[in-house]
Structure 1
């Protein structure tokens, strides 16, 4: 009698948290990934149902641990913030990332980027942005019906999902928040925080000076009242009615 071994169930499949690939090939690519990811996290810091991640493996289909991508940056609306070793879509109410960013590096190949595009188009990405820093070129795709269609003009384009605006100069990509403020890098954000702390410290010092000045005025008023009462008492002792003076 031949006993047939049970096939592996989907629960036995391992979904690694790493694909063994580096996050970035060079400092420029790394800085751009962090720049976009951190600014998007700041933009949606007060919305608990927007999840932003960088270089996180996204598994699209349960039971297939080969069908995956790790966008340089991805944004998921409708999912809570919090730790994830990987983004396993079937545990996320089957919500796919709506927006992804990729930063082109010298290590990228056309075939590799074509596979990424096919994956993003097939699995529901609404907006896909690919930036090539060496030539300062930004390409974007926006979903219409079931296809990702190229955006003809990226300069001045406003992301329907994120509300951010893209601008390109001869030297670099600039991104602006819905309120018009420019995306800042880490050093600029740190300088801004220092300036805000200095303004807060200065405001606190000014408020303390005002409190001290008010206290001095109160003390002077009390002293004047004490002196006035003493003078009234002295006049009364001498038979003079101070109210008739």
Structure 2
């Protein structure tokens, strides 16, 4: 009697190959991956990964590739050991990037193209940083077709724009901001923090000046109130003096009348 044993199919998380063959290739992979993650940071249903094995067919672990960068719309963010398409609602990554190195062979690149074309990639971008050559393919009428003009081309899915100069490739977000390295982003953040601190200092100085002006205004108000009080007191004293003068005049008139009644003519009338 023969016993059959069902063996669990293993989908390794690594193909044993390094993420990049040199620092230049690695820098470009990180640049694209990190900036795409920043671009879609607020969208929980966009998954971005670098050098992650993509298994396209359940039960066939040999049908796999690890794009340098891939983007899957409609899939949640989160850690994965590999991208097993049948566990991802059968959604294939829509956009992939490959950064070439001297070790890339034509046969391997043809196999990747066939894999991406067969299993549903919508946009495929290939950049060689050594020769500064950029190529792109876009799915049209069911197949990946070469994009004739890449300079200025905007990705339909990502919204990013490629600017291909004589020296290098530049990539821009939909809002016009350029893809930056982690170091450049850190420097920009530090500069922004410094500007914010300077603005806070200027605001504090302005607040202090405003407080000083308010104090001077309050002092001026107090001085004005004191001057008004002194003026009022002077007016009161003048009124009192007038009243005293009027009273003295009235007394003098009464005395003169009394003297006349006694037959005495006051000197002022003699």
Could you state the TM-score of these two structures normalised by the residue count of structure 1? Answer: 0.88
| Structure whose alpha-carbon radius of gyration is higher | 2
Q: Give the CA deviation at 1:153.
A: 1.6
Matched, 1:92 2:88: yes
Could you state the TM-score of these two structures normalised by the residue count of structure 2? Answer: 0.81
1:18 to 3, 14, 35: 14
Correspondence list, 1:73-84, <5 A: 73-84=69-80
More helix by share: 2
- Show the counterpart of 2:174: 178
Alpha-carbon distance change, 240 to 17 in structure 1, aligned in 2, over 3 angstroms: farther
Q: Deviations over 1:116-170 (max 9, x none)?
A: 1111111110000111122211111111132111111212211111111212222
Alpha-carbon distance change, 131 to 240 in structure 1, aligned in 2, over 3 angstroms: same
- Show the counterpart of 1:187: 183
RMSD of aligned Cα (Å): 1.9
| Count, aligned residues | 237
Alpha-carbon distance change, 130 to 227 in structure 1, aligned in 2, over 3 angstroms: same
Q: Give the CA deviation at 1:187.
A: 3.0
Q: Give the CA deviation at 1:78.
A: 1.3
1:32 to 28, 49, 56: 28
Matched, 1:152 2:151: no
Correspondence list, 1:106-145, <5 A: 106-145=102-141
Matched, 1:205 2:201: yes
Q: What are the ranges of 5 or more consecutive residues in structure 1 without an aligned counterpart?
A: none
110-119 vs 218-227, which deviates more?
A: 218-227
Q: Give the CA deviation at 1:227.
A: 3.1
Counterpart CA distance in 2 for 1:232 and 1:131 is 83
171-180 vs 135-144, which deviates more?
A: 171-180
Q: Give the CA deviation at 1:220.
A: 2.2
Q: Deviations over 1:79-125 (max 9, x none)?
A: 22222222122222211110000011112111111111111111110
SS of the aligned residue for 2:27 comes to helix
Correspondence list, 1:56-71, <5 A: 56-71=52-67
